[in-house]
Structure 1
Amino acid sequence: MTLSNADESFEDTFPRVSLVTPSYNAAAYLRAAIESVLGQDYPNIEYLVMDGGSTDGTVELLKHFDTKLRWVSEKDDGQSDAIARGFEQTNGTILGWLNADDVLKPGAVRAAVDAFRANRQAALVYGNADFIDAEGRTLGPCTVVESYSRFRLLHYGDYIIQPAAFFSRQAYNDVGGLDKSLHWAMDWDLWIRLSQRNEVVYIDKDLASYRWLGSNKTAEGGLDRLNEVESVARRYGCKGLPAYFRLEKARLLASQSRQDLQQEKYLLTLDKLVQSAATILGSWRAVTSLLSPHVWRNYRTAKALYRHVEEQRVGLR
């Protein structure tokens, strides 16, 4: 498409931001995600919902927004595939994706664009986020977020909250886009590749809310998710799991050992406890992380999130 001079001026002033929402049977939360995008105060947003062929009323909901966004509903090969194909069908110079159960904060897109304007070499911009529950009530801040350090991103953990991150299309294309083979760690893998030769900028503003349901893909990933994280870490020179992921694995193994003990599986209990200790002791970064107030703050946040979900479940019985 050939732009007129007026169009070129508009694009220079307000670069197009393309947002993609992957969705599958998430009608209960999708309206909130859509409205958080449509309610942004930025004038040049292209929004595409990539639905995987939902059967829960999602299509009827999307039809309600027909004049305000584009949508596709067809079978896909998973979340990464839906997001990548969505980006291929858009043309914005700045990209981001918003999962169907998350929401953007008011002014988030404008804040991200302002950060790109102020940092012309930036490939990735990210900010703060908070946790919300199924009803949209705020549970507290995402305490894992840190100021940018590529070393810590690779060797300690993923502190970039995905819905609060935006990146340039040029950089995204240059690094080969999303790795569609990844189920859990595709965002972290992308952040690492974007940061290899490009500038990454942290802005101290709340950009998104991450909906914590206790049944999120990340929450239920267990050891399979951590195995995928380790495989990604080794791609970039790590000798195993980064420090914070090691602590997560150790807690998971310890929790499994308690379950084994309750079932009087004593050998399995001992084995899990040994694995848990070895997971931490195998990395000096993981060991020293236990002395960090930041780590214990994150631990208290995680406990509070799981406790909130359990209280909701008990209340529904």
Structure 2
Amino acid sequence: MKVSVIVPTFNRANYIAECLDSLLTQSMPAHEIIVVDDGSEDGTSELLEAYGTRIRYVRKENGGKPSAVNLGLSLAEGDLIWIFDDDDVALADAIETRVAVLSLHPEAGFVYSPHFYGSDGPGGRIARGRPHVLPQIAHEQLLSVLMEGCFFHLATALVRASAYRTLGGFDTNLLSSEDYDMQLRLARHFRGVVSTAPCFVFRQHTGLRGAKAIRYAGADRGKVFRRFDQRVGHKLRAELPLGDYLVPRQADGLSAQQQRQALLARAVVMGSKGCIPELLQDAATALSHHVEGHSLSHSEYEQLARAIRTGYAYDALGDQGWGGAGWEAPLLAQPGGRKAILALADGIWRMARGYPGSARERWQKLRSAAMTALVALK
């Protein structure tokens, strides 16, 4: 199997040489390394030209990583595609270890692996840090777990070119979270397998990131991810049938109990993406599917408590109407609605007690928990 490596780059003259050198010294060489320069203005183009025929260099106007990767995909000749970031460094056996796993699983569309975290070391070269540990999950759980949070890096994925062609490339409307969106699409349509061998070092740095239209510093990364992950959440809600939120996934014709379970699962996903109105709507609709014998089971209570603790849920409370007039009305109109609100309050309370943060941040969470609980106890 021939491997094409695609490296999109923009203004990364300080890092890309170390990146490319790690790709050019693989124990199993790539068929080609396509570097798509997304309109760099810092001398990147001159540096890349020095690599000559060892890489395939393509330059385009700045349009963001998704458009750069899509151009690379249109040019790639390999059976397998590895999309790699320009500020990271590959381990020497990265291609070899993942090809070996994928060769054992012809039914799989992609393989992914752990990685190491890294930072700038002496002379700006990367210094390897702690490993990123993947959760132990069954194949049937992959989409469900991934929807709640991005637990593997797309740069660890070796993907069949046919899979990318089927999916139609990256969403160019996402100038951030585009990798995560693609991972979710891959997990929905193709089987993924795991290689236990780490394949690269993920450089953590404070330099500028993103396309020219949204250029941001490393310190602002969380805010940018939150904004674009919310768009990913809206895409999931619009495109995935309700049965895809169940484990294992179910086709149409869900029973009332299955619809209730799927809606609560989707509420957790919506919370993780900071989509608070959608979380509340799904919770209320789930309760409307009444189940004989209980209004809200213990496991359902725990699911709602988790919905407010997952991903960007709590961070989004302040700017999406939480606590505003009438947010609780749809829940209170349903059997078990008061208990559901208490579950949300309990989730915030647990964050205040167990999550890291300053005394002020903990106090704010405790206050939010108390105010939410009071709504249910009126």
Instruction: Give the TM-score, by structure 1 length.
Output: 0.71
Q: CA deviation at 1:58?
A: 0.6
| Equivalenced residues, count | 265
Alignment correspondent of 1:59: 45
Gaps of 5+ in 2: 211-220, 242-265, 275-309, 329-339, 359-378
Q: Which residue of the partner structure matches residue 128 of structure 2?
A: 138
In 2 relative to 1, CA 222–96 (structure 1 residues): closer, same or farther, beyond 3 Å? closer
Whether 2:312 is the aligned partner of 1:249: answer yes
Match status 1:236 vs 2:240:
yes
Residues 174-193 of structure 1 mapped to structure 2, 5 A cutoff: 174-193=166-185
Distance (Å, rounded) in 2 between the aligned partners of 1:283 and 1:102: 44
CA RMSD after TM alignment = 3.5
Compare 240-249 and 171-180 and name the one that shifted more.
240-249
List per-residue Cα deviations over 1:138-176 (Å, max 9, x = no partner): 232234655453243344212121111111011211222
Structure 1: unaligned runs, 5 residues or longer? 1-14, 258-267, 304-317
User: For 1:227, which of 226, 230, 238 is the aligned residue?
Assistant: 230
Deviation at 1:236, TM superposition (A): 2.3
Structure with the larger strand share = 1
2:157 is matched with: 165
Q: Could you tell me whether the CA contact under 8 Å between 1:154 and 1:233 is conserved in 2? A: no
C-alpha deviation, 1:243, in angstroms? 5.5
In terms of mean alpha carbon deviation, does 122-131 or 220-229 score higher? 220-229
Once the two structures are overlaid, the 10-residue window that deviates more, 208-217 or 64-73, is 208-217
Contact 2:148 2:311 in 1 (8 A): no
Describe the SS at the equivalent of 1:25. coil
Shift of 1:40: 0.6
Partner of 1:195: 187
Q: Deviations over 1:29-53 (max 9, x none)?
A: 1111101110111134310100012
> 2:192 is matched by which residue type in structure 1?
V
Give distance in 1, aligned partners of 2:189 and 2:177: 20
Does the Cα contact within 8 Å between 2:118 and 2:203 map onto a contact in 1?
yes
1:286 shift after superposition: 12
In structure 2, the CA distance between the partners of 1:240 and 1:104, relative to structure 1 (3 Å rule), is same
Q: Where does residue 88 of structure 1 map in the other structure?
A: 74
Other-structure match for 2:293: none
Give SS of 2:159's match. strand
Greater RCO (CA < 8 Å, at least 6 residues apart): 1
Q: Please report the TM-score for the alignment, with normalisation by the length of structure 2.
A: 0.61
2:144 to 152, 165, 177: 152
Q: Tell me the amino acid that sits aligned with residue 187 of structure 2.
A: S
C-alpha deviation, 1:192, in angstroms: 2.3
Against the structure 1 CA distance between its residues 251 and 85, is the aligned structure 2 distance closer, same or farther, given a 3 Å change threshold? same
Q: 1:1-317, aligned counterparts within 5 Å?
A: 15-135=1-121, 136-143=126-133, 147=137, 149-214=141-206, 216-217=209-210, 218-234=221-237, 235-237=239-241, 238-239=266-267, 241-242=269-270, 244-245=272-273, 247-250=310-313, 252=315
Q: Distance in 1 between matches of 2:171 and 2:142?
A: 20
2:311 is matched by which residue type in structure 1? E
The residue aligned with 1:11 is: none
Work out the CA distance in 1 between the residues paired with 2:180 and 2:116: 18
Structure 1 residues 252, 291: closer, same or farther in 2, change over 3 A?
closer
Aligned in 2, Cα 1:131/1:245: closer, same or farther, shift over 3 Å? farther
The amino acid of 1:138's aligned partner reads: R
Q: CA deviation at 1:127?
A: 0.2
Helix, strand or coil: the match of 1:221?
helix
Provide runs of 4+ in structure 1 moved above 3 Å.
143-148, 214-220, 237-248, 250-254, 271-275, 281-292
The answer (yes or no) to whether the contact 2:272–2:311 under 8 Å persists in 1 is yes
TM superposition shift of 1:79:
0.5
Q: Does the C-alpha gap of structure 1 residues 34 and 77 become closer, same or farther in structure 2, counting only changes over 3 Å?
A: same
Structure-2 change in CA distance of 1:181 and 1:37 (3 Å):
same
Q: Are residues 289 and 207 of structure 1, via their aligned partners in 2, closer, same or farther at CA, if it must alter by over 3 Å?
A: farther
Question: Any conservation in 1 of the 2:314–2:348 contact (CA below 8 Å)?
Answer: no
Which one-letter code corresponds to 1:179 in the other structure? D
Rounded Cα–Cα distance in structure 2 between residues aligned with 1:287 and 1:123: 40
Letter in 1 for 2:127: R
Q: Secondary structure at the match of 1:233?
A: helix
